[in-house]
A and B are shown apart, each in its own frame.
Chain A
Amino acid sequence: MTALSKLDAAVARAERGVAVALLAVTVTLVILQVFFRYVLNSSLSWSEEAARYLFIWAAVLGFSSSVEARRLFRFDMVAQRLPRAGAAVCVALYALATVGFLWALIVSGGALVAGTVSQTSPAIRLPMALPYAALPVGGVLIGLHFLASLGGASLGGGAPGRAPHDGTGA
Chain B
Amino acid sequence: MTLVLSLGFIVFLVANVPIALALGGAAVLALLWEGQIPLLVVPQRIFTGVDSFPLLAIPLFILAGELMEHSGISERLVRLAQVLVGWLRGGIGMTVVVAEIFFSGISGSTVADTSALGTTMIPAMRRAGYSAPRAAAIVSAASGMGILVPPCINMVVYGIMAQVSIAALFAAGFLPAFVMAAFLMAQLWLQARRDPALVVQTRPSARDMASALGRAVVPLLMPVLIFGGILSGVFTATEAGAVAVAYGLLVGIVIYRVIDGRRLYTILLETARVSGQIMLLVGTASLFAWLLSSQRVPQELSALIKSVTSGPILFLLLANLVMLVLGAVLDGLPAMIMLVPVLLPMATRFNVDPLHFGIVLIANIGVGLFLPPVGLGLIVAAAIGRVSVTEVAPVLFPYLATMMATVLVITFWPWLTLIVPSALGLR
A residues whose Cβ falls under 8 Å from a Cβ of B: 16, 19-20, 22-24, 26-27, 30-31, 33-34, 37-38, 48, 51-53, 55-56, 58-67, 69, 71-80, 89-90, 93-94, 96-98, 100-101, 103-105, 107-109, 111-112, 131-132, 135-136, 156, 159, 161-163, 165-170
Contact = CB atoms under 8 A, between A and B. Distances in A.
Contacts of A59: 50, 59, 272, 275-276, 279-280
A161 B329 CA distance: 12
A40 to B, nearest CB: 14
Contact of B331 (A27, A73, A93): A73
B242 A23 contact: no
B238 interface: yes
B20 A73 contact: yes
B111 A168 contact: yes
Contacts of A75: 13-14, 16, 19, 329-330
A163 to B, nearest CB: 8
Contacts of B238: 30
B270 A167 contact: yes
Contact of B47 (A20, A26, A67, A135): A135
Interface string B239-274: 101110110000000000000000001001111111
B273 A71 contact: yes
Contact of B62 (A163, A165, A167): A167
Contact of A170 (B13, B40, B152): B152
A51 B42 contact: no
Nearest to A132: B47
A98 B329 contact: no
A111 B40 contact: yes
B142 interface: no
Interface stretch (B120-128, B164-172, B372-380, B402-410): B372-380
B333 A30 contact: no
Interface string B47-66: 10011110110011011011
A105 B16 contact: no
B109 A20 contact: no
B80 to A, nearest CB: 23
A131 to B, nearest CB: 7
B62 A58 contact: no
Contacts of B109: 167-170
Nearest to A169: B111
Interface string B12-30: 1111111111101111110
B56 A65 contact: no
A73 B12 CA distance: 13
A119 to B, nearest CB: 13
Contacts of A109: 42-43
A37 B280 CA distance: 30
B63 to A, nearest CB: 7
A93 B21 CA distance: 11
A16 B269 CA distance: 7
A61 B272 contact: yes
Contact of A72 (B18, B243, B268): B18
A104 B334 contact: no
A68 to B, nearest CB: 10
Given A52-B53, A135-B43, A170-B366, A89 B60 contact: no
Given A24-B268, A73-B18, A74-B19, A166 B274 contact: yes
Given A79-B15, A94-B17, A19 B276 contact: yes
Contacts of A107: 39
